[in-house]
Structure 1
Amino acid sequence: MQEIMQFVSRHPVLSIAWVGLLLAVLVTTFKGLASKVKVISRGEATRLINKEDAVVVDVRQRDDFRKGHIANAINVLPNEIKAGNVGELEKHKNKPIIVVDANGMSSQELAGALSKAGFEQVTVLKEGVAGWSGENLPLVRGK
């Protein structure tokens, strides 16, 4: 214990940075555990699509969507979800929803908004379209 105290007294900036990172990891972990929205793997997404008729909601920009998206995905822009304008999705409220973005970083907030809007089972695809195509899973072009 004395060695730790010596380290802290000699390296206060490193010690503060370490405590800050530890707190960030703990907060992120507990937020994820408490969230209604779960992050799912590509295998789980495939199972939901094939067995439970899940709806894939791609939140990337239209140009990125046209360059390649998961089959039968619906392209809804983030500002439309934030504004509550989810017209085409409204009929799918009771189906599983998989929110997909470019790399899995920004879809958590949008999935939370969909959950608050009354969608029953909302999930986020881990690593987004980048992870999907990284495993050579099919993408559809155009539309």
Structure 2
Amino acid sequence: MKKWLFMEQLIAFATDNALLSAAWAAIVILLIFTTIKIQLSPIKKISTQELTFLMNKEDGLVVDIRAEKEFKAGHIIDSKHLSSEKTNSNDFTNLENYKDKPIIVVCAAGLTSAKVANSLYKAGFTQTSILKGGMNSWLSGGLPVSK
């Protein structure tokens, strides 16, 4: 009986607050869509531990897309810097030798690397990943950096 009362109240609330209910439904749909899109994406977000494994066991390459100044201040050992000019123009010629190897794109916080990773994937770099949390997660893990 309480279940029916709750359902009646829910329906009454939804009809009395149509705009709020529509906004709520839209948010739920977007969350579901985003979750499915992430799961089906060929670009995976990996942890610092997975990055270390890819570098050591599968000759993975870390591509750092942060500003030159940030890169010089400290970067993951053996990573390559890719300038914003090259990423904006999709100029990946200096990475051609790594087309069949894992590539992990790293930015400062893991937010801006998705665009570059997608561009790399479209350019034929099929094993492209993103470091979850970016360089911040690497540093907070106390992992080594090179200057």
Query: Do they fold alike, i.e. is TM over 0.5?
Result: yes
5+ long unaligned stretches in structure 2? 1-6
Output the CA distance in 1 between the equivalents of 2:145 and 2:87: 23
5+ long unaligned stretches in structure 1? none
- Which structure has the larger Rg? 2
Which residue number in structure 2 is paired with residue 64 of structure 1? 70
Number of residues of Structure 1 aligned to a counterpart in Structure 2:
141
**Given the alignment of the two structures, is residue 80 of structure 1 paired with residue 86 of structure 2, yes or no?**
yes
1:65 partner amino acid: F
Residue 111 of structure 2 aligns to a residue whose secondary structure is coil
What percentage of aligned pairs have identical amino acids? 38
1:2 partner amino acid: E
Residues 79, 18 of structure 1: CA spacing in aligned structure 2 closer, same or farther, 3 A cutoff?
farther
Residue 103 of structure 1 aligns to a residue whose secondary structure is coil
Which residue number in structure 1 is paired with residue 101 of structure 2? 95
- Equivalent pair of 1:81/1:114 in contact (CA under 8 Å): no
Which residue number in structure 2 is paired with residue 26 of structure 1? 32
Output the CA distance in 1 between the equivalents of 2:20 and 2:129: 37
After the TM superposition, which segments of 4 or more aligned residues of structure 1 sit over 3 Å from their partners? 9-14
Q: CA deviation at 1:83?
A: 1.5
Task: Name which of 108, 130, 142 aligns with 1:136.
Answer: 142
Output the CA distance in 2 between the equivalents of 1:13 and 1:69: 48
2:61 partner amino acid: V
Residue 56 of structure 1 aligns to a residue whose secondary structure is strand
- Equivalent pair of 1:82/1:113 in contact (CA under 8 Å): no
**Root-mean-square deviation over aligned CA pairs:** 1.5
User: TM-score, normalising length from structure 1?
Assistant: 0.90
Q: CA deviation at 1:64?
A: 1.3
